[in-house]
Amino acid sequence: MNYKVIALLAVCIAVIAVAGCTGLSEGGSVNTASQSARVTSYDSGNSIAEEKMSWSGSTAPAVAPVPTSASYGAGNTGIETKVIRTASISLEVRDVTGTVELLKSLAAANGGYLSSTNIREGYNNQLTGTVMLRVPQASFDSTIAGTKALGTVKSISTSGEDVTEEYVDLQAQKTSYTNQLAQYNAIMKQSTRVEDIVKVQEQIDRVQTQLDRLNGRLSYLDNRIDISTITVYLEEPEPVGGQTGHDFIATINAGISGFLGMIDALIILAFTLLPIIIIGGIGYWGYRRYHHKKGAAPDAVRPEEKK
């Protein structure tokens, strides 16, 4: 009976020991995982300090690289398409100056403005002009329709330049440079050595310059995308039979001008050919003189033939 009790106690002790070892092993795994997580968190939270220390050791800080391009397509359905719309219209109008004022009012009515104007006088006092309108993209089609109604359309062309890919690339680069700038500023706050401060400041200036360039390009694209450009070419119809009719005085003056022009041409031609005329005259005179002497020699040799 005592042996049975002792055996039972031994089995209980063995079961308790096995359970304790299993719990200890599991606890050690959990502690190890927790410690690994704490190390990871510490490294992530102190990346700037590590960068500072490596910088002090004459090694450049490890900052996020700037992406050279960012792809977009069917997968990125949340990206808004960026299109620059332009148009060119040629109109024949009765009054170029008056039409320019109408175009100015049309642009203002559509929330835009008249960007530039160039009016010039052509043949028979016929006026022509070039007008550039800038209107919001939402009013692009309505402005074109209003422009076409101001005269006779000779030609019209529209185009849309898709700059979505460039825009996305610039935004991605801007985000990366902004993150770099924040990291360098944090490193600057923790730097104590003059050498480190100078080097970090150089990097800050470089990144800031790139950011300014990107912001300038993005502002330019935003302006071209939001405000469309419409170029209008204006010309007045050519008057039938001329603006003032037939002018006899102008005809006589044209005839006199042609006569004087012909005299000028003949004088120029004479002076141009004068060397040739002189050389030809001298040659012809020598030729006649040679033949004259050759014909007189036989008469002197045979005078009896004259009898």
**pLDDT, average across residues 159-179:** 94
pLDDT tens by residue, 177-219: 999 999 999 999 998 899 989 999 999 999 999 999 999 999 9
> Ranked by mean pLDDT, which of 137-141, 284-288, 300-304 comes out on top?
137-141
**d(C-alpha 210, C-alpha 216), whole Å:** 10
Which one-letter DSSP state was computed for residue 93? Answer: -
Neighbours of 137 (CB within 10 A): 15
The tokens 């005085």 sit on which residue?
A: 249
| pLDDT at residue 4, as a whole number | 52
3-state secondary structure of 121: strand
- Mean pLDDT, the chain, as a whole number? 76
Instruction: Kindly give the pairing relationship between strand 127-136 and strand 113-121.
Output: antiparallel
**pLDDT, average across residues 142-168:** 94
Phi, psi angle pair for 178, to nearest 5°: -65, -40
| The residue count for the chain | 307
Residue 223 tokens read as: 């302006």
Neighbours of 152 (CB within 10 A): 12
**pLDDT, average across residues 282-306:** 66
Neighbours of 294 (CB within 10 A): 9
To the nearest 5 percent, what fractions of the chain are helix, strand and coil?
A: 65, 15, 20
Task: Give the DSSP letter string of 124-157.
Answer: GG-EEEEEEEEEEGGGHHHHHHHHHTTSEEEEEE
Q: What is the dihedral of CA 298, 304, 306, 307, to 10 degrees?
A: 180
User: Measuring CA to CA, which residue among 99, 203, 88, 74 is closest to residue 155?
Assistant: 88
Which one-letter DSSP state was computed for residue 197? Answer: H
**d(C-alpha 153, C-alpha 149), whole Å:** 9
**d(C-alpha 186, C-alpha 199), whole Å:** 14
SS3 string, 159-187, reads: EEEECHHHHHHHHHHHHHHHHHHHHHHHH
**d(C-alpha 187, C-alpha 179), whole Å:** 12
pLDDT tens by residue, 215-258: 999 999 999 999 999 999 999 887 665 555 556 677 788 888 88
| 158, 47 contact by CB (below 8 A) | no
Q: CA–CA distance from 121 to each of 11, 101, 239, 247 (Å)?
A: 118, 17, 14, 21
Is residue 296 pLDDT above 80, yes or no? Answer: no
The tokens 């050919």 sit on which residue?
A: 273
pLDDT band at 93 (very low <50, low <70, confident <90, very high): very high
